[in-house]
Amino acid sequence: MARTTDSDLTPQELRTLVAVADAGAFSAAAEALGVTQSAVSHSVRGSERTIGAVLFDRGRTGARPTPAGEKAVAYARRILRLLDVLAAEARGAARSETVEGPLRIAAFRSAALHLLPPVLQRLRARYPGIEPRVRIVREVGRGTAGEVADGKADVAIATLGGSVPLPPGLVARRLLEEPYALVHPTGHTAPRSLPLVDWAENCGSYTRDWWAGQDWIPKATVEAEDDGAVLSLVSSGHGMAIMPALSLTGAADTVGITDLGLERPTRQIGYVTTSELAATAVVRALVRELRTTVPQAVGLVGGDC
């Protein structure tokens, strides 16, 4: 598709791209935007001409972003968010540095349960104008960092240094180092002899080298996608598991926790944002509370942000 000489897309064109991607159909996007379907089609065709690429595959079942469309929609979300931030930042500057506005946070389950509550409590007490919005995202594949890259979150609490590289255009800083431990039914005299309950969420990328050297770990007989389900299975006597410390916070008395020694695997936990949003008042406010609160709250090894 030939590219036009005018490379600027209007905010409304960007909103249309996002609406079509979110709704999965031109008609549904039109309803969400309060315009006609022909207006949506015209806008998307204009954006495709400007960019010089087909952005959506059209079919009877709806519209799905092409690889070019996925990239365009991700940037559209990020640009639209920056336009929102522009207004909030300007208002804050006019009101003697008042910090206000929505703050979209993506976090994996154990971080949302055990790291964020004290951070958000301090944040809301200090900056009542900030409106945190937290989404729990499985830390699999692109995980929470992918939410930031796709423009769906401003900040992610993420695991760093795994097998999946950080998407381009993002910045990351470490907050703490989280050790893994052996978990098993309380009181079991030989927990390493138990069947393995494996956890699908990104554990392998952090434990792979260590795991390969442990000849006592059997092939998994049960697999679970949720750390809470793993602990429930272990508690009920179905086997042992190898889990990170945050997932074990507040574990039931029926779950025993055994240290794996000095060579135990660990994973890094930190925050991820875009280079543009890193300088905004709402993100800087959250980062200050994360740096202050997280290492103290969890009793793990603090980072050097």
Query: Pick the residue with more confidence: 43 or 263?
Result: 43
What's the predicted TM-score (pTM) here?
A: 0.81
Residue 116: is its pLDDT beyond 60?
yes
Model pLDDT for residues 211-255, shown as the tens digit of each residue: 888 888 888 888 888 888 899 999 998 999 999 999 998 888 999
Task: Determine the pLDDT at residue 1.
Answer: 64
184's tokens: 């098993």
3-state secondary structure of 183: strand
- By the 8 A CB rule, do 142 and 205 touch? no
* Coarse DSSP helix, strand, coil percentages of the chain, rounded to the nearest 5 percent: 45, 25, 30
**Quick one: pLDDT band at residue 201, thresholds 50, 70, 90?**
low
Model pLDDT for residues 2-24, shown as the tens digit of each residue: 555 556 899 999 999 999 999 99
Average pLDDT over residues 171-179: 92
Query: Pick the residue with more confidence: 91 or 56?
Result: 56
Closest CA to 201 of 245, 141, 289: 141
